[in-house]
Amino acid sequence: MDKKAICLGELLIDFVSTLNGVTLRDAPGFEKAPGGAPANVAVGLSKLGIETYFIGKIGKDAFGDFLRMTLDKNGVKTDYLTSTTKAKTTLAFVSLTEEGERDFVFYRDPGADMLLDQSDIIDSIFSGSGVFHFGSITMTHEPSNSATFKAIQLARKYGYLVSFDPNLRPALWKTLDEAREKMRLGIELSDVVKLNEEEAMFIAEANTIEEAIQYLQRSYNLALVIITLGKEGSILIHQEKSLRVEGFPVHAVDTTGAGDGFVAGLISSLYMFWNDLRERKPIPDDTLRYAGRRANAVGALTTLKKGAIPALPTQEEVEIFIEENPL
């Protein structure tokens, strides 16, 4: 099959604190950077040689122009990126606290990404076949929630492998119960789901990662679940088995976008056994380990430079990195 990926979700401006180790309150200044998890994944896939399209909505303003230009510059096709005068491009202010946690404030009341509409989602987007990837931020409000689920249904109708990264941001939801309900529905409609430890336990209402894994295996007919463990690597859950894939020891400069880089590395690897996953056939352990190791490599490489999109590696950089870091 042709390597084609479609990513749907938020595309926004991150204003990142110029000083690490402080809260937003104490940040002395901010630097503009393109952001949004599905957009980061789209750029990551494009850099890895996958033909990638992005579905989303930006404001008709200078920030929206900058974001469209950023995707175009990185080879992501913006045919389905629409713009509006009804809201400004969404902004997020971000700082890394002394404890290593990210402090977020979003300006989207509404933001343009929330105005993605069902009329923006048309059948012709899903011509051909490939992988469709989405997040949960467009599920927080209407009309983008209905647009997201329409896109999922069309992707399934046309035989796409459906990938979901919930990317929990509690501040954007009316209640955490609503967040959990929508994320569970997203998982139910997906083939491949990527979670971090916090998200896995949140969705499962579990106290341990082991309980979360049992819940996911028991509750959903997923082709593949991946739980990222930061620098410790990842766990791949396929049918009745779970595989631990070790991470790469690197001196991280900035962890922003590492999870999105991981997703891009994973999706680009899934094309080797895309049909088998879609049909829920068993995948050999060695094949799964290769996909997990490649995803870990992309995630690790993304931490070696500041910013998300500028740090995402090319296919050649990933191959060299893996060769230089054998098992």
> What's the chain's Rg over C-alpha atoms?
18
Q: 143: cis peptide before it, omega within 30°?
A: yes
- Let me know the angle formed at the C-alpha of 137 by 130 and 106, rounded to the nearest 5 degrees: 140
Q: Which of 123, 260, 285, 286 is catalytic?
A: 260
Is there a contact between 39 and 5 (Cβ–Cβ < 8 Å)?
no
Instruction: Name residue, tokens 């992309």.
Output: 298
Q: Is 260 a catalytic residue?
A: yes
Q: What order of strands is seen across the sheet that includes strand 12-17?
A: 30-35, 12-17, 91-96, 102-107
Q: Give the active site residues.
A: 260
